[in-house]
Amino acid sequence: MRVGIDAIRLCGEPTGLYRAIYNTLRALQIVDRTNDYALYSKYDFDFPLENSRWRKCLHPKIPFFLGRLYLQEELNGGDDLDVFWVTRTYAFPLGLPSNVAKVMTVYDLVWRLYPDTMTFANRVVYNAFAKRGIRQADKIIAISESTRQGLMDLVGTPGDKIDVVPLGVDSSFVPHDRAQSARLIAGKYSVSPDYICTVGTVEPRKNMSTLVEAIRILRDRRQLRHQLLIAGMPGWKNSGIYSHVERCGLTEREVKFLGFVPDEVLPFLYSGAALFVFPSLYEGFGLPLAEAMACAVPVVASNSSSIPEVVGDAAILVAAARPEEFAEAIARVTGDPVLSQALSENGLKRARQFTWEATALKVLQIFKESVHANAAAR
């Protein structure tokens, strides 16, 4: 097969979406030794092309608002694709021939379920293009059963058109010595070696305010044993969380924002934590959960969307909007070494189910099935 891939997201910031696409493509280069791949983008991007069957197709001169037309030049120039994969919930390029199978990955239904947690521009783009692209696709990749169900219920997508392909965990996420990791993080970021942490873009959907409120409750009850470290890039409408910290009377001794933490440091951040806390209102998958479990750190998370199917029985789940429940769960786990150890062991076993190689193999199979589906439809 000749596979075209929308790689524009690899030009952006290293968020969870970036890492999902990047790692899936890296794994595809390993598991697929037969097919040819073309990575289409307006801008250049950093991605290792490890064999001649993979190439970049860049179109820097095209204005941003015409970015979806970039494929037309290549098609006219002789690119003969069998399948085109849109790696994010978006529209397919204009001019894509009907004999090219269309595959789209849908990560979540935030634009339908929680539109107020998105920027106005993103809401407009998703509402204008996403549903049309989903309808055009021969095959849809959903990263969780929760996302698959949302597509059927909210968009009316036929279930037999959707395949669930969970994300993976990079092999660098392994348990490291907890005390040594904690000292490393403490020295690097000038924080306490006794900490709990969360990872995610600082934006409303991640529900950091509930976690901050839980920390306030623990402080007021004199049960706060650890500093909370929040790792993640500032996102849209993030000022509310900083003002909420101030309103709660919390200082950096209780809550510290680390900003972006590089991938090479993340395994040590997880490993050194007494607990990983994930209060998100909604996730298509929740990659930090799998990474934390792979580092053998106990997990407390919200019971929303895809989170229960990712963690299984390897975490304590509480209501996303209940800071009291988060406070009680944090106190319970950090105060009970037996429970903490059990959660760590269960999480480590659970995380072994998620590999990028398995993700890539399923994606490759979907490419093949989409070609057959497109041919049958024509």
Instruction: Compute the average pLDDT of residues 95-116.
Output: 89
| Choice between 309 and 16, residue whose per-residue pLDDT is larger | 309
Contact assessment for residue 81 and residue 3, using Cβ atoms and an 8 Å cutoff? yes
What pLDDT band is residue 104 in, cutting at 50, 70 and 90?
Answer: very high
**Distance between CA atoms of 233 and 117, rounded to whole angstroms?**
16
Whether residue 73 is predicted with pLDDT greater than 70 in this model: the reply is: no
Average pLDDT, the chain: 91
Angular region, 155: left φ>0, alpha ψ -120 to 50, beta rest: alpha
**Distance between CA atoms of 13 and 378, rounded to whole angstroms?**
39
Q: Where is average pLDDT lowest: 6-15, 277-286, 338-347? A: 6-15
Domain 2-168+356-377 has CATH 3.40.50.2000: yes
Superfamily of domain 178-351: Glycogen Phosphorylase B; (3.40.50.2000)
pLDDT of residue 340: 97
| Choice between 293 and 118, residue whose per-residue pLDDT is larger | 293
> pTM of the prediction?
0.91
Which residue type is seen at 82?
D
Cα–Cα distances in angstroms (integers) from residue 159 to residues 71, 104, 141, 155, 290, in the given order: 29, 14, 11, 11, 26
Whether residue 79 is predicted with pLDDT greater than 70 in this model: the reply is: no
What pLDDT band is residue 106 in, cutting at 50, 70 and 90?
Answer: very high
For 151-183, letters b (16+ CB in 10 Å) and e give: beeeeebeeebbbbbbbbbbeebebbebeebbe
What pLDDT band is residue 64 in, cutting at 50, 70 and 90?
Answer: very low
Whether residue 265 is predicted with pLDDT greater than 70 in this model: the reply is: yes
What pLDDT band is residue 88 in, cutting at 50, 70 and 90?
Answer: confident
pLDDT of residue 161: 95
Q: Map out the domains of the chain as residue ranges.
A: 2-168+356-377, 178-351
Whether residue 69 is predicted with pLDDT greater than 60 in this model: the reply is: no
Q: Do 2-168+356-377 and 178-351 come out as alike in CATH topology?
A: yes
Whether residue 94 is predicted with pLDDT greater than 80 in this model: the reply is: no
pLDDT of residue 202: 87
pLDDT of residue 43: 84
